[in-house]
Chains A and B, each alone.
Chain A
Amino acid sequence: MKWIGILLLFLSSGGMGLYASQRLQNDVRRTEKLIALTEECSAYIRYQQPELDELIDILSTNPTYQEFHFLQSISENSNPYLMPSTIWNDAIENDTAVPFPTREILESLGQVLGTTDIEGQLSALELHRIQLQQVLSGCRERYQKQGKLYQSLGILAGCMLGVLLW
């Protein structure tokens, strides 16, 4: 019984370490996807000039961005007379898949999307892409530094608890 308890403590502690590390890895992966999203927006605006709601529809049906629910939410709540920036901000805030450090950047993007000519849109998207790129560098660094640390800490904490209880 004691052995089972120690094993469970070890596993749960190690699992927590892995989970924390996984979250950091997810931030990296999701930020990469958000950068790809801004690049795709630029490409569509440059070559097809779809209206904003059409652009959001295209992106929300793209399997690459399926884990982000904000696109779907904006698409469902769009209304000609409602300012999209309001819907956009609410959708970002309610989407848990959006990495925390990128939220402010995405909200700022929502304020400028659709408000200027093509040149202005491309510049704004590029600016936000660069900002996301900086966040990505930070996320990668954090994952490299802290990811392994969390894993090790989890396993070590599990071992320590096991030793203490034994």
Chain B
Amino acid sequence: MNSSFQKVQDYLPESVRQCLRKLPESVTDEIQEIRLRCGRPVMISQRGKEVFLTPSGLTNKNQNVIFMTSEDIARTFQAVMSHSVYSHEQDIAEGFVTIRGGCRVGICGSAVRNGNSVQSLRNVNGLNFRIAKEFQGIASGIWRQAENQSILIAGTVGSGKTTFLRDLCRIVGDNLKTSLIDERGEIASVVRGIPQYDVGIMTDILDGYPRKNGILTALRVLTPAYIVCDEISTEEDVNAILQAHGCGVKFIASVHAGNFDDIRKRVMIQPLFQAGVFQYCVYLNREQAIQRVQRL
């Protein structure tokens, strides 16, 4: 059974845990998300489809389902926070927390605003557990094709970019000095200094660093051959990558894209293409498969 799935269960209400325990391994291995909503049934995303959780298994019908009370949600939220709101202030404001095992939990609630920014959340009404997966070897084909090149991994939400990036990091990190900028703690899932996933023996992990700071710190003090980072999303990230690229460091990074053509159209990452930072682009589709590999 997927170890992340087992770890997620520690955070769930007993009623949900009991139902999940009854599911066969072949089913649990395919679970991508567990969604808890206040006053509504527990839903499971399995191979891209939404189904309900019942005491007798998964079903498409809204009958005999497990409902979540506001108390269930509140207690699960506290568990997700490790009962330490003070150490997750930023995460709460951003709407997600990464729990042990590298699984990301999305939080829905009423925003407490400070001007234009979200300062915190109150009245949490829903939680979405995204099950992290580790498939060793899925990126070896790409690495053979694009060895010692910079690689951009693109895909839609839930296409497995992080899983792919983790394996690529493991392969590169076993061969070259690599710095992993794990802003959300999803790739290596470091717990008390020890990565829970294999990200390579020569990989230095900058856990929780904002991407920009992590890239520049790695560049200054870790002399990496490769820098690996997840989800380039701001102009600051792009500028930091350009700065490191100028110093001869190679990159493996991921970016959101609806389809392959979208990647080239995204204005924010245009400077990266213009500067020739990436030599290869891998596009992953919704079925979590490599749809296209393109030399840029």
Binding site for B on A (CB under 8 A): 45, 49-55, 79-81, 83-84, 114-118, 120-121
A50–B87 CB distance below 8 A: yes
Interface centre among B13, B87, B120 (most CB of A within 10 A): B87
Complex Cα gap A116–B112 (Å): 14
Complex Cα gap A165–B76 (Å): 70
Q: Which B residues are in CB contact (< 8 Å) with A49?
A: 84, 86-87
Q: Which A residues are in CB contact (< 8 Å) with B75?
A: 81, 83
B10's partner among A53, A81, A114, A118 (CB-CB below 8 A) is A81
Query: Does any Cβ of A come within 8 Å of B192's Cβ?
Result: yes
Complex Cα gap A115–B78 (Å): 8
For chains A and B in complex, what number of residue pairs have CB atoms within 8 angstroms? 53
Could you jot down 20 A-B contacts, CB within 8 Å? A45-B86, A49-B87, A50-B84, A50-B87, A51-B83, A51-B84, A51-B87, A52-B82, A52-B84, A53-B84, A54-B192, A55-B84, A80-B11, A81-B10, A81-B12, A81-B13, A81-B75, A114-B85, A117-B85, A118-B86
Query: Does any Cβ of A come within 8 Å of B89's Cβ?
Result: yes
3 smallest CB-CB distances across A and B, nearest first, come from A51-B82, A49-B87, A51-B84
Chain B: minimal CB distance from A114 (Å): 4
* Complex: chain B residue closest to A55, CB-CB: B84
Complex Cα gap A49–B192 (Å): 13
Binding site for A on B (CB under 8 A): 10-14, 75-76, 78-79, 81-87, 89, 120, 192
Chain A: minimal CB distance from B21 (Å): 14
A117–B86 CB distance below 8 A: yes
Q: Which A residues are in CB contact (< 8 Å) with B13?
A: 81
User: Besides A55-B84, A80-B82, A114-B82, 6 other CB < 8 A contacts?
Assistant: A53-B83, A53-B84, A81-B10, A81-B14, A81-B75, A81-B76
Chain A: minimal CB distance from B64 (Å): 24
Q: Which A residues are in CB contact (< 8 Å) with B120?
A: 117
Chain A: minimal CB distance from B62 (Å): 26
* Complex: chain A residue closest to B80, CB-CB: A80
B86–A116 CB distance below 8 A: yes
Chain A: minimal CB distance from B80 (Å): 8
* Complex: chain A residue closest to B7, CB-CB: A80
- Residues A83 and B83 in contact in the complex (CB < 8 Å), given A54-B192, A117-B120: yes
Chain B: minimal CB distance from A153 (Å): 48
Q: Which A residues are in CB contact (< 8 Å) with B89?
A: 117-118
Complex Cα gap A49–B87 (Å): 5
Chain B: minimal CB distance from A137 (Å): 29
B82–A53 CB distance below 8 A: yes
Q: Which A residues are in CB contact (< 8 Å) with B192?
A: 54
Q: Which B residues are in CB contact (< 8 Å) with A54?
A: 192
B83's partner among A45, A114, A120 (CB-CB below 8 A) is A114
Complex Cα gap A45–B89 (Å): 12
Chain B: minimal CB distance from A116 (Å): 6
A84–B83 CB distance below 8 A: yes
Q: Which A residues are in CB contact (< 8 Å) with B11?
A: 80-81
Q: Which A residues are in CB contact (< 8 Å) with B84?
A: 49-53, 55, 114
B10–A80 CB distance below 8 A: yes
* Complex: chain B residue closest to A48, CB-CB: B87
Q: Which B residues are in CB contact (< 8 Å) with A118?
A: 86, 89
Q: Which B residues are in CB contact (< 8 Å) with A84?
A: 83
Complex Cα gap A118–B85 (Å): 8
* Complex: chain A residue closest to B92, CB-CB: A117
Q: Which B residues are in CB contact (< 8 Å) with A79?
A: 10
Complex Cα gap A140–B213 (Å): 51
Complex Cα gap A53–B78 (Å): 13
